[in-house]
Amino acid sequence: MLYNTLGKRTNYKPNMPWGLDELTSSRQLERGTEGGVLFARKGDGDEKASARQLVLNIFHQRMKSRLQMLTMPGVNWKFERKLFGIREGDWMNKPNPQRTYFITAENNRAIFSASLHKIPGMHRSIIKETKPKPFAEIGFKSSFASHYFCNVDDLMAYDKWREGKFTAAWLDYTGPLNTERLDIIKRFYDRHLRRGILIVTALKARWNMATVNAIDNAGGYFEWLQQHLDGDVLHNIEYMDTSPMAQFAVARRAV
């Protein structure tokens, strides 16, 4: 099983980079016994679906202009496909989206490989390899999305994104936040979402001692997030998805 630590690309970088043929081969997809794929195969419970719907509502109701959004889609691109339907109408019969584009990250090799078969835009055009990025082993793009094999925290820490590259982000972690990760999120939020929306979903448990102390000093979990992510809080909820989860949505005040 592959586990990627914050900022450590060597944990998922192989001896030789893989190309599209290797990543999409049936042999690779047969590695479905990896923990990440087993996790991805679990059906969403009602509470997870409700939490996703809150995010969909935000971008349906609040953002009418061009949206370039960072997400972590998993195998089936459930959220991304639903949002295309809301914002783009009959998007499956369009050559490209009019006002919605995703920049996405996945750090489990088997899930990344499987997800390429379902990347939005595959039905309309051949996907192409992206230009090399120092934070990613490889990436591919369609007219609807750019998908990178990388740790999303490394993607956020990359300091050469052009201004306006991102207008929103949904960081849907399966693990917990910690003080180091929240610092990376804050820098990304301050640098790239100066007029945007950020949603953070994470495991509400298993914190290290530094994080426990930071939460206690702030007066609570959501108070800790608000100290770092200034803006108008759109919602802060807790729910169960096998494990206790917390979701925090904030809109940057105009500057």
Query: Residue 254: is its pLDDT beyond 80?
Result: no
Residue 183's alpha-carbon distances to 36, 140, 180, 189, 228, in angstroms, are: 25, 28, 5, 10, 8
Pick from 34-38, 85-89, 241-245: least confident: 34-38
Mean pLDDT computed over every residue of the chain: 85
Query: Residue 230: is its pLDDT beyond 70?
Result: yes
For residue range 189-201, list pLDDT tens digits in order: 999 998 899 999 9
Determine the Cα–Cα distance for residues 237 and 204; give it in Å rounded to an integer: 11
Q: Which domains can be identified in the chain, with CATH numbers? A: 19-251 (3.40.50.150)
For residue range 148-198, list pLDDT tens digits in order: 999 999 999 999 999 889 999 999 999 999 999 999 999 999 999 988 999
Residue pair 158/133 in contact (Cβ under 8 Å)? The answer is: yes
